[in-house]
A and B are shown apart, each in its own frame.
Chain A
Amino acid sequence: MTDHTTPMLEVRGLSKTFGGLAAVREVTTRFERGRISAIIGPNGAGKTTFFNLVSGLHKPSSGHILFDGADVTGLRPDRMAALGMARTFQTTALFDKASVRDNLIVGHRLRTKSTFWDVLLGTPRLHRDERACRDKAEEVLDFVGLSGVADRLAGEISQEERKRVAFALALATEPKIVLLDEPAGGVNPEETVGLAQLIRKMAAAGLTVCLIEHKMDMIMSLADKIIVLDHGEMIAEGPPASVQSNPRVIEAYLGADYVAA
């Protein structure tokens, strides 16, 4: 049904209205597999709402969402996660009182099949599943380069490390696509470069990545495609060079001062 040319994610006429406010208006676009796409726009443009629609947190008012060729419009977030869509949130909610490793174990749970009865009876399946989750936690920790802080309390690591843990949590679900909402929020420029490298590493491993960010330097060097939202509408999409020089985009977001060197 799907082949290498089917986009990993496609939205058609996607709209969401809250009361009288149109947060997202008729957005139609596609995200090709294995590519890094970025969504930019001023605050309140509807970027996070777009993620919420696509990941199933909100039901669209109209429009369709196709994930790896299948119509997934209106599915709940946990169903979307099972299908292979992972996401991070602007505010990284970790269980601060537990270790970093401990935080990651539950990330793989959706791929396990143990039920309450397995727990009660202590079946081999439960032990296999718990082993699998622990192994996965180590694997993703290593991928994001945080094996060194595995035993630290999640509440005591730096902001950049927290962001990496959020990536690791998303990776533990074995996704096909990862939606990153402001992955470099509150992170200094040097660390931002490190996170960008990690994102490239994720794409190199075969993941489709879509991120919302405000840091233009990061995006321009990272993204294969940029989508610009303003007041819920998509006003431009395309490779970084074309978006940078788009007058509508410059007026709405980048500002007349921002000119590609």
Chain B
Amino acid sequence: MLDNPLHKRLLLGALLVLALLFPVVAANDYVIYVMALAYIMAIAAVGLNLILGYTGQLNLAHAGFMAVGAYTVGILTVDYGVPYWVAFALAGFVAAALGFLAGVVSLRLKTHYFVIFTLCVGFIMYLVIEKWDWLTHGTVGLIGIPAPTPIPTPFGAIRFDTPVQQYYLVLAFLVLALWVMHRIVRSLLGRAFVAIRNSEDLAEALGIDLMRTKVLAFVLSTFYAGLAGALYAGFVRFLGPAMALESQTFDMVTFILVGGIGTLFGPVLGAVALTWITQSLQFLQDYRMIVFGPLLILLVMYFPQGILGAVNERRAKRAAQAAQAKRAAQSRQQSGRGAQANA
């Protein structure tokens, strides 16, 4: 189905066109709002997938870093009158700087110790946001965050006031985020990440500096979280400490597991699909877990690699078979020719 790289490009092109046309066919502004929010969570999930899916380290503090990005934009614009785009540009770097500090400490731990440690780091970040009133407004939260300020161009200003305009802004960043992630995971650096996930001892024996490479993956993933948070702040326009809770990270982990862990588009598929499934199950309120829970269990049982993971596996198998058949045919041809020459 997707074996041909041309087919793959066509599919991606078609998806992009669908995404661009979505606001036109959407029923109302609320639907556009939900989809854009799904894209923001997708950016955060793509970042988490780098440290979790590709490098094999489960960082449960990811939502905390998203909150850092969001609060950077919120605090700077609301309390200090910093221009929106300046605050926005800083958000990812602030989150990544904190990510560096957290990573250098926590990545000395392995497997479950690392997971538990980051769970605590995330909770500490939540507590700091909740208690540090004068900086973060504590439990009251930050309100009145401005929408992204218009960008002047020769053709008139690009405005971001309406949900449709903000949808396209978020979509643009999602495409950019995916493109950069694509470059990263396809490169030698990406292969180093995967080598670490596969076997840390083997990766080290191959000359990969474990600490340095893991910290790099961690910092990149928190940058993505900060970027998503910055978009979130300008989109939702109010923030509360609850966005830093580990339940938010678990949501993102679920997106990744469903969509395809360790795949490029898996987190996006998971974020969009699950956001809409949750929306459509809203009428069940708390009972939606009765539908959700078993679905997740079935998924983990039959598609542990997620939807795109299963697709990729099948593709890889077929590609391997095709290449083997090609080689077999070639060697038959050659020995046939050899037999003819000897005759």
Instruction: Tell me if B81 counts as interface (CB < 8 A to partner A).
Output: no
The reply to whether the CB of A248 lies closer than 8 angstroms to some CB of chain B is no
Chain A residue at minimum C-beta to C-beta distance from B183: A119
- Complex interface residues of chain B between 159 and 217 (CB less than 8 A to chain A): 180, 183-184, 187-189, 191-192, 194-195, 198-199, 201-210, 216
Q: Are B207 and A173 in contact (CB under 8 A)?
A: yes
Q: Is the interface of B mostly helix, strand, loop or mixed?
A: helix
Contact A107 B206 (CB under 8 A): yes
Query: Is the beta-carbon distance between A78 and B204 smaller than 8 angstroms?
Result: yes
- A153–B316 CB distance below 8 A: yes
CA distance A169 to B198 in the complex (A): 14
User: Which residue of chain A has the shortest Cβ distance to B327 in the bound complex?
Assistant: A148
What CA separation (Å) do A76 and B208 show in the bound complex? 10
Contact assessment for B204 and A77 in the assembled complex, using a CB-CB cutoff below 8 Å:
yes
Asked whether any CB of chain A lies closer than 8 Å to the CB of B97, the reply is: no
Of B201, B207, B209, which contacts A89 at CB under 8 A?
Answer: B201
Asked if A256 is at the interface (CB within 8 A of a chain B CB), the reply is no
A100 to B, closest residue via Cβ = B320
Contact A106 B205 (CB under 8 A): no
Residues in B whose Cβ lies below 8 Å from that of A148: 327
Residues of chain A within 8 A of B204, CB atoms compared: 57, 76-78, 81
Identify the interface centre among B191, B216, B220: most chain A CB within 10 Å of its CB: B191
The reply to whether the CB of B324 lies closer than 8 angstroms to some CB of chain A is yes
Q: Is A97 on the interface with B (CB-CB < 8 A)?
A: yes
Asked if B3 is an interface residue, CB under 8 A from chain A, the answer is: no
Are the CB atoms of B188 and A114 closer together than 8 Å?
Answer: yes
Cα of A217 to Cα of B324 in the assembled complex, Å = 35
A136 to chain B, nearest CB (A): 12
Residue in A93, A105, A109, A129 whose beta carbon sits within 8 Å of that of B207 in the complex: A109
A153 to B194, CA, bound (A): 16
CA distance A173 to B187 in the complex (A): 18
Q: CB-CB < 8 A to B184: which residues of A?
A: 116, 119-120
Interface residues of A in 103-153 (CB under 8 A from B): 105-107, 109-112, 114, 116, 119-120, 122, 126, 129-130, 133, 148, 151-153
CA distance A80 to B69 in the complex (A): 39
Contact assessment for B202 and A82 in the assembled complex, using a CB-CB cutoff below 8 Å: no
B210 touches A126 (CB 8 A): no
Q: When chains A and B are docked, how far (Å) is the Cα of A95 from the Cα of B201?
A: 13
When C-beta atoms are compared, the residue in chain A nearest to B219 turns out to be A116
Specify which of B180, B203, B313 lies most central, judged by the most chain A CB atoms within 10 Å of its CB: B203
A156 within 8 A of B: yes
A109 to B207, CA, bound (A): 8
B206, A93: Cβ atoms closer than 8 Å: no
* Bound CA–CA A57/B195 (angstroms): 17
Cβ-defined partner of A130 (8 Å) among B188, B195, B313, B327: B188
Q: Answer whether A109 and B191 are a contact pair too, CB < 8 Å, given A82-B207, A120-B183, A151-B324.
A: yes
Task: Report the minimal beta-carbon distance from A87 to chain B, rounded to whole angstroms.
Answer: 5
Q: Is A86 in contact with chain B by the CB < 8 A criterion?
A: yes
Contact pick for B320, options A55, A99, A106, CB 8 Å:
A99
Decide if B198 touches A110 in the complex (CB within 8 Å).
no
**14 pairs from A and B in contact (CB 8 Å cutoff):** A76-B209, A78-B206, A81-B204, A82-B207, A93-B201, A95-B195, A106-B194, A109-B188, A151-B323, A151-B327, A152-B320, A153-B316, A153-B317, A169-B206
- Going nearest first, the 5 A-B pairs with the smallest beta carbon separation are A110-B207, A151-B323, A81-B207, A93-B199, A106-B191
Given A94-B198, A173-B206, 20 extra CB contacts under 8 A: A78-B209, A81-B205, A81-B206, A82-B207, A93-B198, A98-B316, A99-B316, A106-B192, A109-B188, A109-B191, A109-B192, A110-B207, A114-B187, A119-B184, A120-B183, A122-B183, A151-B319, A151-B320, A169-B206, A173-B207
Interfacial residues, chain B to chain A (CB-CB below 8 A): 180, 183-184, 187-189, 191-192, 194-195, 198-199, 201-210, 216, 220, 312-313, 316-317, 319-320, 323-324, 327
